[in-house]
Amino acid sequence: MKRFIYSAVLLFFSVSVFSQIDFGVKAGYNSSVGLNELSSVTSGNYNVDSIRADVKNNFQLGVFGRLNFGKIYFQPELLYTMGKKEYTVTLQDTQNQSASYDKVVNISNIEVPLLVGYKVIDLIKMVNVRVFAGPKLTFNAGSSLKFENLKNITVDELEKDVKNAQLGLEAGLGVDVLKFTLDARFNVIKDMYQTKIQDVTVDDFQANTIVISLGWKLF
């Protein structure tokens, strides 16, 4: 993975010497609430205090390059993402009784989105509005998970499985004003933090999240 990261950084700096390529830095807020948990927003369980906790725990930072072909562009990125996600898992045990536990994931990942975009509004170098989508490679950089509040199940029955890498999808809307770039993204990735019982996966779902990021074009 280190060789891949070094190659990606070298690529970013190498291509930036061309006039049609932008290079910049960015930082963002990575929400732990996705489509599977939108009900917590409407019910009021996800509130201002929840957002403050997310901002503290869930963030990303990195670099991006943008190769422009008129209104179409290609934007690779290299990001470090950190976060924390907690949710309750309910299942049936071997006696067909209900069992549950809280799953706590501490996220530490390297992400490489490879995005293709289209400039819906393009006013020279002043303002543009963009839509984009593409695959995103995610590499584990030290993530961990643990179990809490176990009911009718023991921790010895649960097996942790943290994947080294996963491939996901990302899409969103962006706005550029002068050197600033603001993106709102929705990403879908298969859960990297699976739980198994006797080698059978019992907790594996699409980890859908929303990301808001602000960038600055260095040149």
**pLDDT digits 0-9 by tens, 106-163:** 889 999 999 999 999 888 778 999 999 999 999 999 999 898 888 888 888 888 888 9
Mean pLDDT to the nearest integer, 100-108: 88
Whole-structure pTM value: 0.80
Q: Which of 68 and 95 is assigned the larger pLDDT? A: 68
Secondary structure (H, E, C), the chain = CHHHHHHHHHHHHHHCCCCCEEEEEEEEEECCCCHHHCHHHHCCCCCHHHHHHHHHHCEEEEEEEEEEECCEEEEEEEEEEEEEEEEEEEEECCCCCEEEEEEEEEEEEEEEEEEEEEEEEEECCCEEEEEEEEEEEEEECCCEEEEEEEECCCHHHCEEEECCEEEEEEEEEEEEECCEEEEEEEEEEECCEEEEECCEEEECCECCEEEEEEEEECC
**What average pLDDT does the structure give for the chain?**
82
pLDDT for the residue 38:
54
Q: Are residues 71 and 115 in contact, defined by beta-carbon separation less than 8 angstroms?
A: no
pLDDT for the residue 101:
86
Q: Are residues 8 and 60 in contact, defined by beta-carbon separation less than 8 angstroms?
A: no
Structure tokens at 41: 């927003």
Q: Please name each of the domains of the chain with its CATH number.
A: 2-217 (2.40.160)
**pLDDT digits 0-9 by tens, 18-70:** 447 899 999 998 876 655 555 555 555 555 555 555 555 688 999 999 999 98
- Chain centroid, CA 77 distance in Å: 12
Closest CA to 37 of 179, 207, 195, 158: 207
Q: Which of 106 and 15 is assigned the larger pLDDT? A: 106
Structure tokens at 119: 């400039």
Measured from the Cβ of residue 119, the count of other Cβ atoms closer than 10 Å reads 18
pLDDT for the residue 156:
85
Q: Which residue has 């996901």 as its token pair? A: 168
Cα 193–Cα 140–Cα 65 angle in degrees, nearest 5: 125
